[in-house]
Amino acid sequence: MSEVKRGFHPLALLKQGKLIVLGVVLAILCFAVGFFSGGKQEKPPVLSSITVQNQLQQISQLATVRYSYTNMGQFENSNEFYGIKLPFTTKRFIVAYDGVITAGVDLSQAQVTVSDQKVTIALPAPQILSHEVDPNSLEVFDETTSIFNPITIEDYNGFQADQRGVMEDKAIQGGLLTQAKDQAQTAITGLLSPLLQEGQTLEVQVADPE
């Protein structure tokens, strides 16, 4: 039976994450260039639901928050006989590594409604867009194997998959998706507010994280 032990801290490595709000300057520039690509205009552009929705879909994904972390976890496995661990069959290792999780919204699913006085943008719930582990940061400590139960590549792969889920859950519990929602509202408001006609208002709705 395999076991992942969290909280193991033999080398005093950090096991905490850090939320960083990503800049959305690139997204703003892409949106602005696409919207004003027709050249100089004597009159302000007229917003339409199709125009706005097309521009948001061109941006596709808006990553608004990044969660950087250093993780350390221990894997241990022993052969068992009727619930009793067999001697000389224990294998274990400790792995430490750095990772980055980004979260944001899928703008391709944006729903846009434009009336004379109001522009409404409805966006889906924020989600994790990527989770990257820095391979150069990977360190293995206290590797113990057994001739009767050797460490395999499947052990490492399975452990890494389990730990990815653990860190994503930790990031979400720490407010990753909630902050991504808030930043998405701020970003889209900043994109569209300068394009509003006189008297128009803007409402950006982002679904709550599940």
pTM as predicted: 0.71
The predicted-structure confidence for 31-53, as pLDDT tens digits, reads as follows 544 544 444 445 545 566 766 76
Domain limits, the chain: 2-206
SS3 letters for 93-108?
A: EEEEEEEEEEEEEEHH
d(CA 139, CA 95): 6
Mean pLDDT of 162-191: 92
CA distance 122 to 15: 36
Binned at pLDDT 50, 70 and 90, residue 194 comes out as confident
Residue 194 to residue 162: CA distance in whole angstroms: 45
DSSP of 96-164, one letter per residue? EEEEEEEEEEEGGG-EEEE-SSEEEEEEPPPEEEEEEE-GGG-EEEEEE-BTTB---HHHHHHHHHHHH
Q: What angle do CA 209, 19, 95 make, to 5 degrees?
A: 100
